[in-house]
């Protein structure tokens, strides 16, 4: 669940990245966030993960009010989120399995819990055969699936993916999107940031478009298709 109410974000250097954004994402939704480079997409992601604080407006994430959240509460808010990046961000000297265990131990899971959960998510992303490999031994698409498994492993309410297919070829990108769609069907809310029009148009999902720090459209059924019909 996400609520942006008139959110402003100015960075320390004065850059106004967001200029009054209103956005509501309910539990169970699958939402694409599209827009040109520098339009403020990653800023929205950083506000949701509390990496940055809003300069103005009201912000709620999964029941946490981020306007006046205590620093000690931020980790617990983050446990309700799974985050995926364009550059995967896996630990290269750990195996796939160890990467997932690492993410679980980070929030205090016991070895028994990791033994139960890790094989399940590895199977979900189709990498049960690669559990003992290191990230460098995998293709980009496989590495991103590991990152998705890691985002899922702590069973978050919502997954946020910032350009998850930016480093992948069209075929792998489609596979990743279909995997994310499947995860959404299993009950997790999905917010996917991308600027790949073909990809967005292949799915009939809600598309929020942002430009120059403002939401310019929010419709279901393919944003770029609409552009063509105008």
Partner 1 sequence: MKLRYNFGYFISEGFHSIFTHGFMSFAAVCMIVCCLLIMGSFSLVAVNVDHMLGDLEAENEFTAIVEETYTDGQTTQLQAAIRGIPNVASTTYVSKAEAMAAFKEGREDNELLNDLPDDVLRARFRIHVVDIERMKETASQVEALDGVAKIRAEFEIAEGFVVLRDIAGAVAIILVVILLLVSLFIIANTIKLATFNRREEIAIMKMCGATNGFVRWPFVFEGMLLGLAGALVAFLFQWGVYSLVANAVTGSDTMSLITVLAFRPMALRVLGAFVGTGLLIGTSGSVLAIRKFLQV
Residues forming contacts to ligand ADP in the complex (CB under 6 A) are: 11, 13, 15, 17, 35, 37-43
Which of 85, 63, 118 has the alpha carbon at shortest distance from 194?
85
Nearest approach, Cβ of residue 41 and Mg ion (Å): 5
Q: Which residue number, 80 or 212, has a Cβ lying nearer to partner 1?
A: 80
Q: Which residue number, 13 or 68, has a Cβ lying nearer to ligand ADP?
A: 13
Does 87 interact with partner 1 (rule: CB under 8 A)? no
Footprint of partner 1 on residues 106-125 (CB under 8 A)? 106-108, 110
Q: Which residue number, 36 or 75, has a Cβ lying nearer to partner 1?
A: 75
Nearest approach, Cβ of residue 128 and Mg ion (Å): 32
Selected binder of partner 1 within 3, 5, 79, 206 (CB under 8 A): 79
Structure tokens at 185: 């069907």
Q: How far apart are the first and last CA of the chain?
A: 32
Does 216 interact with partner 1 (rule: CB under 8 A)? no
Which of 124, 126, 134 has the alpha carbon at shortest distance from 97?
134
Q: Which residue number, 77 or 174, has a Cβ lying nearer to partner 1?
A: 77
Distance separating alpha carbons of residues 67 and 58, to the nearest angstrom: 6
Q: What phi-psi label fits residue 187: left (phi over 0), alpha (psi between -120 and 50 degrees) or beta? A: left
* Pairing between β-strand 30-34 and β-strand 206-211 as defined by DSSP bridges: parallel
Q: What phi-psi label fits residue 102: left (phi over 0), alpha (psi between -120 and 50 degrees) or beta? A: alpha
- Asked if 191 and 160 touch (Cβ cutoff 8 Å), the reply is yes
Q: Which residue number, 107 or 178, has a Cβ lying nearer to partner 1?
A: 107
Which residues are near partner 1 by CB under 8 A?
49, 51, 72, 75-79, 81, 83, 89, 91, 93, 102-103, 105-108, 110, 150, 154
């Amino acid at each position: 669940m996400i609520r942006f109410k008139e959110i402003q974000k100015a960075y320390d250097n004065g850059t106004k990245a967001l200029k009054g954004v209103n956005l509501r994402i309910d539990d169970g939704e699958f939402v694409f966030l599209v827009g040109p480079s520098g339009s403020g997409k990653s800023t929205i992601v950083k506000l949701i993960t509390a990496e940055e604080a809003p300069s103005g407006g009201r912000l709620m994430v999964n029941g946490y009010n981020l306007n006046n959240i205590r620093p000690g509460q931020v980790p617990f808010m983050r446990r309700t989120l799974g985050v995926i990046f364009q550059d995967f961000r896996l630990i290269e000297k750990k195996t796939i399995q160890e990467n997932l265990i690492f993410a679980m131990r980070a929030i205090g899971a016991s070895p028994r819990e990791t033994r139960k959960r890790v094989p399940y998510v590895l199977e979900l992303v189709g990498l049960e055969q690669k559990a003992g490999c290191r990230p460098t031994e995998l293709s980009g698409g496989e590495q991103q699936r590991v990152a998705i498994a890691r985002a899922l492993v702590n069973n978050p309410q919502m997954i946020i993916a910032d350009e998850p297919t930016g480093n992948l070829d069209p075929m792998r990108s489609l596979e990743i999107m279909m995997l994310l769609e499947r995860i959404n069907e299993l009950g997790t809310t999905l917010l996917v940031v991308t600027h790949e029009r073909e990809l967005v148009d292949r799915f009939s999902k809600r598309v929020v478009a942002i430009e120059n720090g403002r939401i310019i459209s929010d419709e279901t059924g393919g944003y770029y298709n609409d552009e063509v019909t105008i």
